[in-house]
Copies of this chain bind each other. A is one copy, B any other.
C-alpha cells in the first residue's frame, strides 16, 4: 500500500464514522444521505451539498447524493438516509456508517465519446450497464445516456451488445422444459392488456408461459403483483403459466432504471427498446416469442415501414440469443378494449375470459391472434390453424378455468376496485367517430391517477366508426381523489378533439 492510500485508510478509520438516525424522508428511487453541514466529515472531506458520497455499512456500499442539514434535525455525529437509501444499504437505526469520496466512474468517458459520435464497443456497454445497476450514475448522467442513444442511434452490434450487458447485469431463469413461450406488446396503445388472456389460452393448451413484465399492473384480477422466483417456479410447475411483475425477480435491473428516465423524457429509442424487450425475455428463459406491433398515427410505431425496421431489429437481436421471434403487426389506430387503467382493464379481461356477450370484441380478437401465433410457434397448432385453436379454448371455458387456477396458485383472485369519483365527457356534435388519440387518452388516464390509483382511468363509450349524437357520452373519467378528477377534467376540457367526431 502506498503512502497516500495508507494515509487515506487512517483518515477513514479515525474520523469518518457516523451513526444512522431515521428521519423518514421519501425521495422515491434516489438514495440521499443527510449530514450536518458543520459535521467533521463534511469539513475534513470538503463535501458540499449535492456532492456524490460513498456510504459503507458493513459489507454493503452505495453512492448517495449529499443533502446538508443546517439545523438541529441531526445531532453531531449523526447522519440519515432517504427511504431508498435505507433500503439499498440494508441499514438499521443506530448502524455505524463510513463515508468517503466515491471513486471516479470511468464508464462516463465511454458515454461522452458516444455523445460526440463514436460507437460503443461491447465491453464498454457492459461497463456502463454495470455502473448503472450499481447506482453509480446520477439522474443527469442516466438522462445523457438515454438521450445519446436516441440521438446518435445504436447499430445492430451495439443493440446486441446492450442486450447482452442488460442480461448479464441481472438474474436469469432457466426452465427444465421447452418450449418456453412469451409475448410482448410494443407500447403506446392504451388498454392493450391481452397478456392475461393469452397466458390463459396457451397454458390451457399445455405450453409453458411464465409471464413477467416491467409494468406494475399485470395482474388485472388483483393477484399478487410481485412474487419471488421459487414461488413463481411452483406456480409454473403446476399451471404452466403465471403473471408476475418482473421488478420482483430482477430479470433486467438496468431496464427498470432506464425506463424511469425514458418515461420522464418521453423518449424511446429503437436500440434501447429492442434491448429492453429482448434482454428481459432472454433472462426469463423464453425460447419462442411473439411480438405485437400496433401501428397507427398516435401509436408508438407510426407506419408500416417503421414497423418493418423495428421488427427486423427485434427478430435479429432475439436470434443472436437463440430465441425464435415472430412479429404480429396489428391495428393501432385506437385503444383496445374499453377500459384504460388497472381495474377498468381487469373488467374487460374478465368479460372476455368469462365469455360475456358484452365483452369488448377487439380485445378478444387481438388476444386470439397473439395466442394463435404462439400456439403455432410452440408447435401446438398447425400453421394457419392457431387462431381457430385459440378461439375454441377461449369459447369452451378452458381458458377461464386455467386463469382461475393460475390466480389461485398466485394467492387468490380479488375483485377489481371501483372509483368513487366519475365524470362523463359528452360529445359536442352529432356524427361518426373518426379518430381516437392514443397518447392523449393515455394522458387523461394518467392525470386521473392511473396506474398507481388502481381504480382510476378512462372508460371509453365509443370506438372509431361508431355514431354519436350531440350530448351523448364519449368516455368517462374515473378517479380515486377529487383533485385527480379535476386535473384530468381540466385536460379533457382543453382537448375536446381527443375523440374526433366528423360528419355522419
Contact = CB atoms under 8 A, between A and B. Distances in A.
A67 interface: yes
B115 A45 contact: no
Given A50-B28, A452-B48, A23 B151 contact: no
B143 A23 contact: no
A25 B72 CA distance: 10
Given A7-B489, A143-B143, 12 more contacts: A7-B486, A24-B69, A25-B67, A28-B48, A45-B481, A48-B452, A101-B483, A108-B266, A114-B151, A117-B151, A139-B139, A151-B151
A449 interface: yes
B267 A45 contact: no
A148 B145 CA distance: 10
A490 interface: yes
Contacts of A309: none
A483 B112 CA distance: 29
Contacts of A502: none
Number of copies: 2
Interface stretch (A29-37, A228-236, A244-252, A325-333): A29-37
Given A46-B481, A50-B29, A143-B139, A112 B24 contact: no
B264 A11 contact: no
B70 A83 contact: yes
Interface in A384-413: none
Interface in A431-452: 447, 449, 452
A266 B489 CA distance: 43
A429 interface: no
A27 interface: yes
A267 B110 CA distance: 12
B46 A449 contact: yes
Interface in A455-495: 479-484, 486-487, 489-490, 492-493
Interface string A241-267: 000000000000000000001001111
A8 B492 CA distance: 13
B68 A26 contact: yes
Contact of A484 (B46, B479, B493): B46
Contacts of A45: 481, 483-484, 487
Contacts of A497: none
Contacts of A484: 45-46
A22 interface: yes
Contacts of A138: 139, 264
A155 interface: no
Interface string A1-40: 0111101100100000000001111111110001001000
A367 interface: no
Contacts of A48: 28, 452
A334 to B, nearest CB: 22
A147 interface: yes
A51 to B, nearest CB: 9
Contacts of A68: 25-26
B264 A140 contact: yes
Contact of A264 (B23, B141, B479): B141
Given A141-B143, A492-B4, A46 B453 contact: yes
B115 A147 contact: yes
Contacts of A486: 4, 7-8, 11
Given A11-B483, A67-B26, A144 B141 contact: no
A36 to B, nearest CB: 10
A479 to B, nearest CB: 8
A331 to B, nearest CB: 24
List 7 A-B pairs, minimum CB-CB distance, nearest first: A24-B71, A28-B50, A151-B151, A143-B143, A4-B489, A45-B483, A44-B483
A43 B481 contact: yes
A377 to B, nearest CB: 33
Interface in A143-164: 143-144, 146-148, 150-152
A144 B144 CA distance: 6
A49 interface: yes
20 contacts: A4-B489, A11-B482, A25-B70, A26-B69, A28-B48, A28-B49, A28-B50, A43-B481, A45-B481, A73-B73, A101-B483, A112-B265, A112-B267, A116-B150, A116-B151, A138-B264, A140-B264, A143-B144, A147-B148, A148-B151
